[in-house]
Amino acid sequence: KKCDHDKKKNNISMAILYHSSSPTLLLTDLCLSVLFYSQRVEVRPRMACPFSVVVAIDFGTTSSGYAFSFTQDSEAIHMMKRWEGGDPGVANQKSPTCLLLTPDLRFHSFGFAARDFYHDLDPEEARHWLYFDKFKMKIHSTSDLTMETELEAVNGRRVRAIEVFAHALRFFREHALKEVKDQSSSVLEGEEIRWVITVPAVWRQPAKQFMREAAYLAGLVSPDCPEQLLIALEPEAASIYCRKLRLHQVIDLSLTEGEDLTSDTVCGFASDDFLRRSRHSRTFLVESGTGELWSELQTGDRYIVADCGGGTVDLTVHQIEQPQGTLKELYKASGGPYGAVGVDLAFEAMLCQIFGEDFIQTFKAKRPAAWVDLTIAFEARKRTAAPGRANALNISLPFSFIDFYKRHKGQSVEAALRRSNMNIVKWSSQGMLRLTQEAMNELFQPTITNIVKHIEELMAKPEVRGVRFLFLVGGFAESPMLQKAVQKALGRTCRIIIPHDVGLTILKGAVLFGLDPTVVRVRRCPLTYGVGVLNRFIDGRHPRDKLLIKDGREWCTDILDRFVCVDQSVALGEVVRRSYTPARMGQRKIIINIYCSTTDDITYISDPGVRKCGTITLDLPEPLPPPGAVGGAGAGAERREIRATMQFGDTEIKVTAVDVMSNRSVRASIDFLSN
């Protein structure tokens, strides 16, 4: 507000382009620049895929991996090779999302290799190494994300987040390129590869831009070729793959009338043998059309994809359009931080309750590698937790934990457990915590309750009612605890489907998205976006504190000119056009502030809930002299019109611009990170 007030006081020259009877001016950072209001919406055709191979990276909170497909043989999706370390007998499971940097901040290793090396370090030496895990959550939880946002390693040292993400993406780039080249009969150039990176659908524009900037830094693609990199939304990718499913590739958790909940209606890790067999084959074939599962769907039928990952749960509602098999989003993506990490945090809170928060924090700081060992031990046992399990789950406590507690507290771990009065956790003489079924329920329940509640709330919305299918995907969807809860709550409402390779569903769908980005034809806007403009002041309609008098004319400031509204349906390729003109002759840059809101019930950019979220920058080249002009640039020049075209139907917001008089492209960029 103060900034806008200062602008009002400055004597800045304005030019006005009239549109119908009401001129509209744009309020910007550097100047008052003119807005020529254009409501036209145009749909432009998409180009055919010019790439030879598509490589998709599923960058998850707890685990990550890549897959690829050659455009000449697009029905074959090749999964990544088995990683160093990991579980024996699993040919291509994803790698844990953990990164290790040396004490002088150089890249050392990623995934199983990072985890194992860090585990083997001497405790004193480990304190100097930087180990990062589950760091993707930071990007979701940071409200003011910038290029300078930092991540904290297990030992407390901080590094710029963009560098951590770039290290991880660079690792995937090197592994994927080597594998693609091994399987390719021809020599591939860098520009022949299209890269796809997955992000949660609930991520806002700054987080998506952050991943793109990290990919540029990692050398996946050049900033000069942005179209070579696609950002895929995780539940959307899963939905694209689910279109291809056949009946033998899924497990149906739906309950028929009179059927009750029995343990064998839950798949979970009972399908482990199937998973292991299927994972030995590293090439998956997908249907050329839609799979037979969809033959039951009629035109207009809708379904939900619930992507239950490590960090977030993402829900998307789609309609499949026959006969072309394209997808239409029916309701804006929703979800929240209800991933499997919530169970880990509940376990840490339980440890704090037993041993004291001060001790747990000291142990994490002084013995970071041992703490990581403890979390890995819990993760392994967490996966086997199932409803109705009779025997307790044993969690091995590292020797250093037992020893450290005795030296710091002067008593044994067993004594601490007894003193805590926590009857649902027992002590084993073999050095293990024994978690009863009641304890596991207590750890899982808050996270699972959030997920079920969110799905139920979504299904109650008018736009979503009548859902036929609910697809559960993502790593957490493998949990029998989650499956049972969803089945109990929704098993009679709709068909609950879990693909066999549930942890790889997003990865395969991301490859399919890279092969054909036009498959999702209509999306919903997650927010209202617009810019602040000046309109003619109307007494009685506009408040007096918005009045600005300029050159004898009365203007109302701070009016929001909407580009798109929250939950608005936007088709792929639809564009919003606005024309701007520089306020001053010789001006070389126009900077336009973008504002956003979670509601559409707004009039001014100063209304509650409206925030500045980004900027559009138009770089203005030296104007060309008119034909026959003497005296170089600017001689006889009239005021220029710059036409900006914005796209809201893709997974990212894009902007292009052209100088109307010369028809030359103007360098245009949209930035959500450097506010």
Q: Residue 158 CB: number of other CB atoms within 10 A?
A: 10
In a domain, 241, yes or no: no
For residue 219, pLDDT beyond 70: yes
Mention every residue, 6+ apart, whose C-beta is less than 8 A from residue 130: 100, 101, 102, 103, 105, 153, 154, 155, 157, 159
In tens, the pLDDT along 106-116 reads 999 999 999 98
**Mean of pLDDT values over 342-364:** 93
In a domain, 516, yes or no: no
Report CA 328 to chain centroid distance, whole Å.
19
In tens, the pLDDT along 152-183 reads 999 889 999 999 999 999 999 999 999 898 88
User: Cα(504)–Cα(512) distance, rounded to whole angstroms?
Assistant: 13
Q: What is the DSSP string of 434-476?
A: EE-HHHHHHHHHHHHHHHHHHHHHHHTSTTT-SEEEEEEESGG
Split at pLDDT 50, 70, 90, the class of 666 is confident
- Share of residues in the chain with pLDDT > 90 (%): 38
Coil/strand/helix, residue 44:
coil
- Do 211 and 137 have their domain in common? yes
- Do 173 and 266 have their domain in common? no
Whether 65 and 54 have beta carbons less than 8 Å apart is answered as: no
Whether 644 and 594 have beta carbons less than 8 Å apart is answered as: no
Split at pLDDT 50, 70, 90, the class of 16 is very low
φ and ψ at residue 603, rounded to 5 degrees: -120, -40
In a domain, 269, yes or no: yes
- Do 25 and 130 have their domain in common? no
Whether 532 and 310 have beta carbons less than 8 Å apart is answered as: no
Q: What is the DSSP string of 257-280?
A: TT----GGG--GGGGHHHHHHHHH
User: What's the domain range around 430?
Assistant: 341-444
For residue 289, pLDDT beyond 70: no
Residue 262 maps to which CATH number?
A: 3.30.420.40
The Cα-based distances of 133 to 96, 99, 502 in angstroms read: 8, 7, 22
- Do 67 and 163 have their domain in common? yes
In tens, the pLDDT along 304-342 reads 999 999 888 999 999 887 777 788 999 988 888 889 999
Q: Residue 5 CB: number of other CB atoms within 10 A?
A: 11
- Do 580 and 466 have their domain in common? no
- Is the model more confident about 38 or about 97? 97
Split at pLDDT 50, 70, 90, the class of 624 is low
| Residue labelled with tokens 């990176």 | 197
Picking from 188, 217, 236, the residue at the C-terminal end of a domain is: 236
- Do 560 and 418 have their domain in common? no
- Share of residues in the chain with pLDDT > 70 (%): 81
Residue 664 maps to which CATH number?
A: 2.60.34.10
Picking from 236, 271, 289, the residue at the C-terminal end of a domain is: 236
Q: Residue 315 CB: number of other CB atoms within 10 A?
A: 26
Q: What is the mean pLDDT of the chain?
A: 81
- Do 224 and 327 have their domain in common? no
Split at pLDDT 50, 70, 90, the class of 362 is very high
User: Cα(559)–Cα(110) distance, rounded to whole angstroms?
Assistant: 49
Picking from 236, 261, 285, the residue at the C-terminal end of a domain is: 236
In tens, the pLDDT along 39-83 reads 334 443 444 557 899 999 999 998 999 999 998 888 889 888 766
In a domain, 467, yes or no: yes
Lowest-pLDDT choice from 23-37, 146-160, 315-329, 650-664? 23-37
In tens, the pLDDT along 495-505 reads 898 988 888 89
- Do 230 and 362 have their domain in common? no
- Do 460 and 602 have their domain in common? no
Coil/strand/helix, residue 78:
strand
For residue 237, pLDDT beyond 70: yes
* Tally of structural domains, the chain: 4
Residue 307 confidence (pLDDT) = 94
Rg over CA atoms, the chain: 28
For residue 360, pLDDT beyond 50: yes
Split at pLDDT 50, 70, 90, the class of 640 is confident
Report CA 380 to chain centroid distance, whole Å.
26
Split at pLDDT 50, 70, 90, the class of 2 is very low
Q: Residue 342 CB: number of other CB atoms within 10 A?
A: 21
The bridge status of strand 302-308 relative to strand 467-473 is parallel
User: Cα(502)–Cα(270) distance, rounded to whole angstroms?
Assistant: 13
User: Cα(489)–Cα(468) distance, rounded to whole angstroms?
Assistant: 15
One-letter amino acid at 586 equals: G
In a domain, 652, yes or no: yes
In a domain, 514, yes or no: no
Lowest-pLDDT choice from 76-80, 532-536, 629-633? 629-633
For residue 259, pLDDT beyond 60: no
- Do 471 and 615 have their domain in common? no
**Mean of pLDDT values over 170-198:** 87
- Do 126 and 89 have their domain in common? yes
- Do 179 and 305 have their domain in common? no
Query: Among the ranges 137-141, 295-299, 536-540, which has the highest mean pLDDT value?
Result: 536-540
